[in-house]
Amino acid sequence: MQHFIVIGNPIAHSKSPDLHHTFADSVGLDISYRRQLCPDDKDSFHAVVEAFFNGGGVGANVTLPFKEIAFELCSQTGSLSEYATTAKAVNTLALRDGKLFGDNTDGRGLVADLLDKGVTLQGAHIAIIGAGGATRGAILPLIEQGARLTIFNRTLARAEALKADFEEFGSIDINELHTLKSGDFYADVIINATSATTTGQTLELSDGVRAGFAYDMMYGKPSEFLAHFDRQGVRCCDGYGMLIQQAKLAFELWTGKRIDLDKVDWDKYINNKINS
C-alpha cells in the first residue's frame, strides 16, 4: 500500500481523498490517502512533512495556507519544477533522490480543464481578475498554450510586480480592477482568480464587460462573477474541473500511472463523497 496525505488548515472539507482513491481504483492501485490538519505555522508544517516522508510516505498535496511555506522548504532543502518556481507556491510534494521535490499542478489543471471543455487557448485573449497566487500559478501554463494575457487587480503595484516576474516568458498587459466597473471590455476568456466567490464579495463588473467564455476558479458556492456573464448568455464554468485535473497531474507524478478520466468510476466517487 502506498501512503499519501493532503496538508492544510482547515482540511475537513478537502475532496482530495475521494478523488485520489477513485483514481487509484481506476488503475488497480492500493493506496491510503488521508487529510492531515496542521497548526498554522512554519515549524509545524516542516515537522508534518518530515514525519510523513521519513515514515515511508510517497506523496503529499499542500493546500491553504501552506503553499508558500512548501515552496520555501523545497527551495532550501530540495528542488522545484519550473511551474512551482514561477508560481512561488507548491501544491504537490514528492521525493526525488531522497530529497523533497515541489511541483505546482494548479495552472496546468486549469489549462487541461479549459481544453477539455473545448476552449481555444492558442491566440486567445485571456483576462484574469486578481494577481495573487492562483493567477501566478496559471500564467506560465496559459502562455505555453499561446494565449495573450491581461491581468486586472485592485492594486496596480502587485500586478506590476507579477508582470516583471514573467517578462522572460512573454508580455502581459495589466490594468486596475476599477476599470471594469465602467466602459466596455471584451476577452475571449475571462477568469476570476480572486476569492470573491468564497468570501461573498462583489467584483462590480459593468454591463459592457463581455467575454466568449467565463471561468471562476472557485467552486461550490454561487458565483456573482459567473451570474454576470450568464445573464449575457455567455458559456460559464466553475473550477471543479480544475480541481480534478490538478489532482490527476499530482497522482500521475507520484505513481507513474496515467489516469484516463473517461474510465474513472465517477458514480463511485459521488457515492464516496456522500458517505464520507
Q: What residues act catalytically?
A: 67
Locate 66 and state its grid cell. 501552506
DSSP string, 20-37: HHHHHHHHT--EEEEEEE
The type of residue at 202 is: T
Helix 266-275 / helix 16-27 crossing angle, nearest 10 deg:
140
- The three-class DSSP label of residue 192 is strand
How many CB atoms are closer than 10 A to CB 114? 26
Dist CA 196 CA 116 (whole Å): 25
Stated length of the chain: 276
SS3 content of the chain, % helix, strand, coil (to 5): 45, 25, 35
41 grid coordinates: 505555522
Contacts of 82 (CB under 8 A, 6+ apart): 140
What is the Cα–Cα distance from 84 to 137, expressed in whole angstroms?
A: 8
Max alpha carbon distance in the chain (Å)?
Answer: 58
